[in-house]
Structure 1
Amino acid sequence: MAAPTTLPALLTSLTQSLSSALEVTPKIAAIEHQKDGISLLDVKNELLLSYLQNLVFLILLKLRNSKPDSEKTDEDDSKLDESVRSKLVELRLYLERGARPLEEKLRYSIDRFLRTADDVERERKAAEMEQKDSGSDDDSEEDSEDESETEATSRKPGELSAGPKFGALVSDVATEKSRDGGAPGVYRPPRRERQVMDAPQRRDKSDRRGIKSHTMEEFVASELSSAPLAQPSIGTTIVQGGRKMKTDAERKEEAERREYEETNFTRLPKESKKDRAKKAKQSGRSNRMQFGGEEWHNLGEGVDRIDRLTKRKQSGGGVRALLDKSRKRGIDTTDGPRGSGMGPGIGERFNKRVKVLEGGRRDRGK
């Protein structure tokens, strides 16, 4: 409902509000006031009455200022008008931000209590009508007993469960003292519901497939496709001094980045060295050499592999070597008389053997 803009409409609405307020005033006065604090109903009524008083006073000021033979100056009238307006704004703020949110929070409980009171009043009136219809006192006593029984059975067990529990807001001092003064017992942890870990989800067949080669896809799209393709300008795909060529994925990512920057008028941070190394490692190109837009393996790797595969074994390669190994004595052993061991050739064989072993170790470490 829109607020009245003209003065007659405003006066009419104000008269209706005052008449309704006068009708409700005796009922409100009959309600007993609380000993501790003030009720929400009293606060709301006081705010509404103050708002109406200030509104009436503002209307009187407007009517008085409209007369040409005004006694006060315009400056005093404007100050008084401004003070009344500020008071109206303050009262409206209290009503909108103070009383209304509290009513919204207590609306469910208040509606339930009002419905209960209406039911009790309706049952009381019905009982009075039954008492008037019945002429004997015995019948009236029986009706009252039936009324009490029906009232007890008609109440639902969950009527008071939705209402506010004011006893829970007050701390139990006696219980706290008994807890503090009592002997410490065994700590028993609260029982919780058992949490079961979810089984790991199996990957689909599409996830287990091998990663597609972007190079092969670019080759098929550019060489084997008959559809027209937009080619970049010559030289725009060469990076790192000709050692690398931009791929379609990199050019697409760069275009998306540029479009985002132009749309949002912002600059994205430059990719760090750590992020570039991580991306290269994910793409599997960290251990490969790139030059001229092509990926090259180390040239010495293939030569070393060929040399290892074609190299012959030094020992055990012929029949003569097998025959020499089958002999118990060495090659230089003779059947003649043995020396005393004190000659100049002592230790020569041992030294030769040591040199051979050392040479083999050095060759093996190379």
Structure 2
Amino acid sequence: MDDQFLQTISDSLSSISTSLPVPEDTRNGISLLILKNDLHLSYLQNLVFLILLRLRGEEIQDHPVVWQLIENRVWIERGINPLETKLRYSIEKLLKAAEKRDIVNETPDALLYKPNPSALVSQVADSAETETVYRPPKISSMAPPTSAPRPRKNRLVSDFIDAELSHAPIEEPSIGSHRSRMSTKERRDQDNRKRYEEDNFIRLPEEKKKKRRAQGLDDFDVDIGGPYNFEQQPSLAEKSRKTNEGSKTATRIGAAFNKRRKTLDNRKKRKNK
């Protein structure tokens, strides 16, 4: 009985194996996909064997099939899946190329390339039929504008009125600094310099002239004759002497001006008489 059963199984397997299609040669394929299929097949076989052990009620703790399942699971999750993710683009590209090759190799339909009779008909209409009198398109008439164009405002007058009558704050240089506002180019250079320093975490060296101008030391030089050079400043006696000389000169000029004005007044009085 057992021999007959085994013979039946072997005959069935032989018939099934012959009915299966011949597998294609995968020697030139992607080895990663071949390994993936083998690992999945091994995992399913061990899983079926584990189910069989559970059905028989046998002990499965520390059984080799359990460790084999764990090993296959680690290979699939930690080895195959990350590599497949990295090679996904190349794999999809190869699959599309294979599909296109299969489509080209197929026998095309002969009627697909049949001549198109409509292409032989001229698409240009007969000129004799289309020659007619030209009629311009009808456009609704429009009356000319009655209102005269408004004169353009004088920009200089508008700017003057805005500056004099507006209550909005006006940007002006600080009192006593003798410095004008920064030009557009200077502001752009300063913004580029600040952006470069913040992006690269570095402080660029500044020119002494620009640094002194930014700190207002140029005006300080004009007022006191140079930064931190207090020794060359005139003494109080020299300042008082210069002040007295200046006041005397101003007095003489004022007296001469008054004398000249009196002379002119006397001449006018004589003419009036």
TM-score, structure 1 as length reference = 0.27
Structure 2 length-normalised TM:
0.33
